[in-house]
Structure 1
């Protein structure tokens, strides 16, 4: 499989360059490329790489049987496989699939204190595994969360360099519309990305073949693998409930009111019985939760109703693959999603926000049509973000930015199929630029985004 350049590559280089580096845990959903990125990095930086996969080689779960001291662990690894070489200062210990053996996290403290070897762990963090890991290694680890490819990484896979994304950002900062040629090329690439999602195996197949041949089957197999993980790692009766929630996400996103309703999941389903199921799916990285704000004001954290939320897939390509056959085929052939169109664009923008490190929040005023898709913040302001499937008016967004009832809001951002522009406190940008939002907001905070800094234009 062709290696795809990832943002994790730069993080790994930065980690290696830190003389005080701690053991690193790279966590994230299964099959997003964690192992491949670590192997590629390790090959270029270490004379010896000790890779242990706790799924494929369960015998290594015995390496802490004599305690967690570095010498005891190294002795037991050597006992199992005498060919492994431990060269001080030039060896990486790579523990993969650590969700199968969370106990290894307790050893990180002792391996760091010992100091002879670098340590990287990775795992899917399914179920309760990471909770145990968190408590076992406080202060002696660095965490990095890895997800499927974002649109920028997809552009890299297609052969585009950093100059292209830099130019896109300049267009946003300067509020300078794209040319017709740019709009056509980037929109086509973006729709390809929506179709494929960002799972590395799917994108690699598309890059190598130059067509979508076989990608739908690959996506559906990934969904089956996720469902199998639920059966494997979820405990007791929660398995059926978690599967019900997971399988109902596409249906509920298709509705005008996209709030996830537990009562629709199964006959007689009650929220209190399903509370942990949603959090389990989020912890695994399979879904993104978007909570309803109690009121659109700062601060965001703690200002939401944990019982009201929307659910999006962590990878929109998997969402498309889970649609009924007619809708999925129509989108692949004709770029038409019918009733799912609004859900697709909302999901892809939510995914882009999450991959930039944002938590997801929306707002729906009770007994009113006022509803806002997402919210982010600048240094001093709350920013409502609207996602429009068509180039129509955004009544709720306009109300939020003009009403005196929302003093924390100074301007809003609308993503649509249209070009860059803005008026009356609303900045408009194409869907394909959503991955640049955090960088645009940073430019705004630094006084480098004229249209955002002058919302009356």
Structure 2
């Protein structure tokens, strides 16, 4: 019980510092669902799912009962077995055990880390039909076989993916909401920020790429403005992920670890497509598919697939054997890149921040953009053409996303996005892509470290990298 109190205090402390966009989505679910569905919050370990659910319950309901299945005793799990058809008794015993009074239509019950006890998830259909209380589930690894075995996934379950904090949320935490609002206004009006604010936004974005968006490292950085304790926090998270791989990726854990450890090296290449031959010269995608799926399902990695046709419905032309693999959090990518050392001290981080030592800038910026697009709900796709066939031009477009296009009456079109880390660069691939698919695509974007430039006639925007969260 004492540990539970400590956990609650940690939750309140963390949330008091960090505002999450997902909170508004929970409010929308509560009002629109009105108890007719449960909400499943999916996300990586340590991304703040428990914090979000608990704080929402404490703030928006008369009472909140949290059952953490990672540490729930056998007695609590037995309640679900013994009283699965007797909810009066189930609620009575849970209320007494956790010392939380339940109020009909005014209590939120949270099944935290529900993947550790799938039977509770299987009961959601009937609990929702009972109608007395609202339900939120949190979990990770919710699609692997052992976590859905012998249960029926409830149709009464809505889902919400909780991503690491994006750059806008990081700015809120750093008490820079005014700057965040100005960035959005600048994007909407397609007018650049004043130079001084532009430089400030770029500097903060570089800090964000090193810290990342996991709540604990961000909280530490907001409070201490130091990188060494942030790195220690991130290393604990990476070690937690490695422990999860050993525990849950039974039978193919070596492949999962190989892919995870290979991400920094793959993203450091000019062509960032994942080359399995770098892991094993005889490796084939069919034998590694499960490893990529596991990392994606654990929300540790973001997988970006090649699309052969830039048309709305990119998944229809998806090539599953051609992919890029990004870390779901850029700060954790930095820590993976530093993994050869037992720790990365303050001076190393600050040297990277100043650009004095060569941690691959292209690796970080492209991963950061992938993370930003994913946080906005985009599935990740890229376009590639080798140029090896007769009459074929070489093209490599970093990302393709679907966005409303003003010149098509607001209907969705595919927007190509190129990411550039140096101040001097070319756009040969983007020029070729736009010439070939001109009638199929909408706005084109180049994300770069310079000021905003907008060509209305060409429908081409050069955006500063810190505007990625606006796309």
Q: TM-score, normalised by structure 2?
A: 0.86
* Structure 2 Cα separation of the partners of residues 118 and 381 of structure 1: 38
Query: Corresponding residue for 1:270?
Result: 284
Determine which of 153, 160, 171 is the counterpart of 2:169: 153
**What secondary structure does 1:198 align onto?**
coil
Determine which of 326, 347, 350 is the counterpart of 1:332: 350
Choose 284-293 or 19-28, whichever is displaced more.
Answer: 19-28
Shift of 1:20: 4.5
Query: Corresponding residue for 1:201?
Result: 216
Query: Corresponding residue for 1:446?
Result: none
Q: What are the Cα deviations for residues 49-90 of structure 1, in whole angstroms up to 9, with x where unaligned?
A: 2211111114122233136333353255368x2844333223
Alignment length (residue pairs) = 433
**What secondary structure does 1:29 align onto?**
coil
**What secondary structure does 1:17 align onto?**
helix
The answer to whether structure 1 residue 210 and structure 2 residue 225 are counterparts is yes
Query: Corresponding residue for 2:10?
Result: none
Query: Corresponding residue for 1:119?
Result: 135
* Structure 1 Cα separation of the partners of residues 439 and 265 of structure 2: 36
Matches within 5 A, 1:267-306: 268-306=282-320
Determine which of 358, 376, 380 is the counterpart of 2:378: 358
**Contact between 2:66 and 2:109, CA under 8 Å: does it hold in 1?**
yes
The answer to whether structure 1 residue 428 and structure 2 residue 445 are counterparts is no
Q: TM-score, normalised by structure 1?
A: 0.88
**What secondary structure does 2:81 align onto?**
coil
- Which ranges in structure 1 are unaligned for 5 or more consecutive residues? 438-457
**What secondary structure does 1:248 align onto?**
helix
Query: Corresponding residue for 1:385?
Result: 417
- Say if 1:198 and 1:404 are closer, same or farther in 2 by CA, change over 3 A: closer
**What secondary structure does 1:301 align onto?**
helix
* Structure 1 Cα separation of the partners of residues 436 and 237 of structure 2: 48
**What secondary structure does 1:153 align onto?**
helix
* Structure 1 Cα separation of the partners of residues 98 and 364 of structure 2: 52
Shift of 1:173: 2.4
* Structure 2 Cα separation of the partners of residues 425 and 90 of structure 1: 50
**What secondary structure does 2:108 align onto?**
strand
- Say if 1:121 and 1:355 are closer, same or farther in 2 by CA, change over 3 A: same
* Structure 1 Cα separation of the partners of residues 111 and 330 of structure 2: 29
Query: Corresponding residue for 2:90?
Result: 73
The answer to whether structure 1 residue 418 and structure 2 residue 450 are counterparts is yes
Query: Corresponding residue for 1:61?
Result: 77
Query: Corresponding residue for 1:52?
Result: 67
**Contact between 2:227 and 2:349, CA under 8 Å: does it hold in 1?**
no
**Contact between 2:40 and 2:159, CA under 8 Å: does it hold in 1?**
yes
Choose 180-189 or 118-127, whichever is displaced more.
Answer: 118-127
Shift of 1:397: 0.8
Q: What are the Cα deviations for residues 76-107 of structure 1, in whole angstroms up to 9, with x where unaligned?
A: 5368x284433322322111111101121121
- Which ranges in structure 2 are unaligned for 5 or more consecutive residues? 1-12, 404-410
**What secondary structure does 2:185 align onto?**
helix
- Say if 1:67 and 1:203 are closer, same or farther in 2 by CA, change over 3 A: same
Query: Corresponding residue for 1:399?
Result: 432
Large movers: runs of 4+ above 6 Å: 326-329
